[in-house]
Each structure stands twice: as structure tokens, then as C-alpha cells.
Amino acid sequence: MGFKCGIVGLPNVGKSTLFNALTQTAAAQAANYPFCTIEPNVGDVAVPDPRLDTLAPIAGSKEIIPTRLTFVDIAGLVRGASKGEGLGNQFLANIRECDAIAHVVRCFEDSDITHVEGMIDPLADIETIETELMLADLDSLEKRVVALEKRAKGGDKDAKELFDLVSRCLVLLREGRPARLAEVKPEERKAFVGLGLLSSKPVLYVCNVEEAAADKGNAFAETVAGRAAQEGAVSVVVSAKIESEIAVLPAADQRDYLEAVGLAEPGLNRVIRAGYKLLGLLTFFTVGPKEARAWTVTRGTRAPQAAGVIHTDFEKGFIRAETIGYDDYVASKGEAGAREAGKFRLEGKDYVVTDGDVLHFRFAN
């Protein structure tokens, strides 16, 4: 499933450096001037999950295949992007194609790296980006609402329902509040997503701090965390410089480097996990002699749809899901032990997959 998280922010906040570290490539040019990223760079990254390393030996799996997220490095936005300033229109279109936003915020002082606004103020930076996204949404909806209202007054039931939803979003946007704060009924969710509103995307704030603050953050990062808490978002502290240095080291040397800088794990692991959580995703596993593999589905996914992630035929011909919880699988030392312990379950079409489920699908050809 192609879950995309777009990396956004003002120029020179460390977006491309972070992207390079995430994907362990130099595909995105990192340079000290605006618009060094012109086309969005795309990279798939493995979601770190130590459970795979536990499952594989139990099943005698020859290969471990983690689940993945796609990160898109989107060029720096500037004030006026919603009106086409810089390369605004192109960048906003790139954001629209993403499922969530990783908003990189500069939380470090460095006189050698220019700031497009001339000062270090993380909250002001956030407001600049957020304002441009909201202005773009406002422009989009105001162009559509008049015709929509006319159809609604003419008795078009679908138009009336959509007009009600659009009106709620417009109230928020005109008050300077993002569309993601709109109260959306479950039955309206598909239509809401279909509006393609930039400010409706869930947001993860990535606080890029100096090396000395990589473990606990700094005062700048604390202000961002406070804002995130107020709006129900998430913030993560990383030092993009440290992460870029870790990324190019051999795996054997990374642990020593982390210990030397006082980190228990790469900050990027936290970014990836936070992005995964932000998108409302969970992991289930398939294990056997050939491979131990993690699969991604959204929370609330039922067994047939989870089977369809592996292959469409599995969903079409779904019969049942042989299910063992992760903890039960490990405690029982595999499927045979789980059967003996009564921890092996047969689940039908209405079963909602739980994070960590070890599944084997039965289907009719």
C-alpha cells in the first residue's frame, strides 16, 4: 500500500539532509540556498520493527522483509507560495499527493546557514507554512462553493451534503485554522479526503536541533512540542546532521557512533515510527521457512482486505485467517506450540486485524 509522507518546511531547515539520511542516499541535493530541491525526491524506507528479528528464528525464516513507508522530499515553501511565489504551485501539488506531512522545523542556531526569514523562530516558521496551505485550500474551496450551493438549493442531495462539509471547512479556514480540525462524520470521510485539502493532512513536526541537543531537544523544540500537543499532533526531535553521518556508516559502526553521541537509537527510527502511527497504520506478519514479512494496513482493516494487501486473489477468494497473536506466537515458540496451547484461532470475514497478528490466509482459487 503506497503510504506517502511528504517532508516540507521553509528552505534551509534541513529537509533534504533529513531525506538523505532517511533513504541512506544522496538523491536529494543538500545546499545552503533556497530551492536546491526542484523535483520531489522519493524514497522508500523500512519501518524498524524488532519483532521481525524475534519471529524469523522461531520460524526458521531465510529472509526478513520489513514493511515500508514512502517519504517525499518536497522543495522549500516560502511566504506567498499559495499565490505562486517561489515554485509554490508545483510544491503544493506535490503535497496534495501525500497522505501526511512531516514538517521539518529549524530549531538550531547557526550563523553559517542562512534563514529565509532572517531569524530563528520555529513557531513563526510553522505559521508561515500552515498559512500557505490554508490559503491554497481557501482559494480552492471558494472557487467551488458557489456552484455547489446552487446545486444544493436545486435539490441535489449529494451536493447538499458536500456543501455542508465544504461550509464547515471554510469556517475553519477563514478563522485561520487548518481543515484537519473539522468535525467529519465517518460517512463523510471519503468525501472529505476527496476535497484534496492540504491543511487536512495529519502533521508530524520534526524538530531539527543541533548535535548537542539530539537526545532531549532544546528550548526551541519544547515550544514546538507545546504547539503539537495543543492541536493533537506529534513532534519528534532529531539532529539531521548526526542522522546524515550515521546513515553513511557501516552497520557495524553505527552502534558505537550512537553510544558516542549519547543516543539509544537513530532519531530517524522515531521519525519513521511516528509517521507510521500518524497515518493510523498497523503491522501484521506472515512467517514461514522462506521469509518473515511485515505488512501494512490501516487500523480497522478486516481480514479479507488485509489478505488483499498480499494478493488480490486472497481477498476475492477469502475463506478464513489462521491467527496467532505475536506474544502468543513467541511464548509458544511457533505455530505448533500455539496450537497445543489453544492460542491458534480461525477468524472469518468480520475479523478486524490487530497489530502484531501472525496470519496465514486460506482462500479459494
Give the integer Cα–Cα distance in Å for 359 and 365.
19
Q: Are 74 and 10 in contact (CB under 8 A)?
A: no
Give the integer Cα–Cα distance in Å for 360 and 310.
11
Instruction: Give 80-86's long-range contacts (Cβ < 8 A, gap of 24+).
Output: 80/132, 81/132, 81/136, 82/131, 82/132, 82/133, 82/135, 82/136, 82/139, 83/135, 86/34, 86/35
Give the integer Cα–Cα distance in Å for 40 and 94.
7
* Eight-class DSSP state of 32: S
- Which of 6, 10, 5 is CA-nearest to residue 127? 10
Binding residue positions for ATP: 12-17
Q: Which residues of 5-38 are buried (b: 16+ CB within 10 A; e: fewer)?
A: bbbbbbbbbbbbbbbbbbbeeeebebeeebebbe
Helices and strands (H, E) in the chain, number of each type? 14, 12
- Which of 143, 206, 139 is CA-nearest to residue 174? 139
Q: How far is CA 293 from CA 59, 143, 150, 329, in A?
A: 11, 46, 52, 15
Strand order from edge to edge, sheet including 41-46 = 41-46, 68-73, 4-8, 100-106, 203-208, 234-238
Q: Are 34 and 9 in contact (CB under 8 A)?
A: no
Contacts of 339 (CB under 8 A, 6+ apart): none
Binding residue positions: 12-17
Query: C-alpha cell of 249?
Result: 556508516
